[in-house]
Structure 1
Amino acid sequence: MSDEEIGRGLVRGDEQCLALAHRRWSRLVHTLAARVLGDAREAEDVTQQVFLSAWRGRAGYRPERGPVPAWLVGIARRKTADALTARTRRLDLVAAAGAALQTAVTAQGDPERVLDRIVVTRELARLPRDQRDVLTLAFFGDLTQVQIAHRTGLPLGTVKSHARRGLQRMRRGLAAEG
Structure 2
Amino acid sequence: MIEERGRVVALDESGIWVETVQRSGCHSCAAKSGCGTGLLGDFWTKASQVRVSVAPETLRRIQLHDTAVIGIAENTLASGALLVYLAPLVTLVLGALAGQALGGVSGGELWAILGALGGFLLGAVCVRLYSHLQRNNPAMAPQFLRLEQGKPCVIPVTPLP
Greater strand share, structure number: 2
Q: Which structure's CA Rg is the greater one?
A: 1
TM-score calculated relative to the size of structure 1:
0.28
- Higher relative contact order, structure no. (Cα contacts within 8 Å, ≥ 6 residues apart): 2
Greater helix share, structure number: 1
TM-score calculated relative to the size of structure 2:
0.30
